[in-house]
Amino acid sequence: GTLSGADENPANASPGTGSTTVTYDDIAHSLRVQATFSGLLAPTTASHIHIAPAFGANGGVATQTPSFVGFPLGVTSGSYDSSFDLTLTSSWNAAFITASGGTAAGAEAAFGAGLKAGLAYLNVHTSQFPGGEIRANLGAVPEPATWATMLGGLGLIGGMMRRWTSVRFA
């Protein structure tokens, strides 16, 4: 996702920009968060992932609060790359666990559903914008093996179409 003030709710005119890649593996029960950002108007105070009740709306914090462990705080630019074991309650916001059945497994299930539904976003909060200075709405992108299968299937369909278009009727 692309981090911007325009994607905040309400939108703001921050010149801050950045990008994030959030990789969720439901088999390994892991989450990798990678982010870079710059140009913020004020120092960072927190960053985490929210799950919203509807696309574009503000939602509750799903991941660690007040911020991801090790996220660069007190800066206007930086980068972050960390992985989390989603079987551990320490990877989640306690309120999100409670709202998701009281277990880390329930939190992970709710998180995965939110990601798949396009209701998740990563937020970077600052002292000037305590509700969030820049935000990236997270959308599902198939992992490489799925892409390869999809592209292979398209190649097969394309080959079939070439054969169908070359058939002559007498």
Torsion of CA 18, 72, 63, 84, to 10 degrees: 100
Among 73, 25, 54, residue whose Cα is nearest residue 121: 54
- Residue 17: phi and psi, rounded to 5, are -140, 170
- Res 153: pLDDT: 53
Render pLDDT for 125-170 as a digit per residue (tens, 0 to 9).
999 999 999 999 998 776 665 545 555 555 554 554 444 433 333 3
pTM of the model: 0.83
What b-and-e string marks burial along 95-117, b requiring 16 or more CB atoms within 10 Å of the CB? ebbeebeeebebbbebbbebbee
Rg (C-alpha) for the chain, rounded Å, is 20
Could you read off the pLDDT of 71-117 as tens digits, one per residue? 999 999 999 999 999 999 999 999 999 999 999 999 999 999 999 99
Higher pLDDT, residue 145 or 124: 124
Cβ–Cβ < 8 Å for 14, 134: yes
Average pLDDT over residues 54-78: 95
Q: Cβ(133)–Cβ(125) under 8 Å?
A: yes
Is residue 45 pLDDT above 50, yes or no?
A: yes
pLDDT given at position 144: 63
What was the pLDDT predicted at 152? 54
Write down the pLDDT at residue 145: 58
The pLDDT assigned to 168 comes to: 32
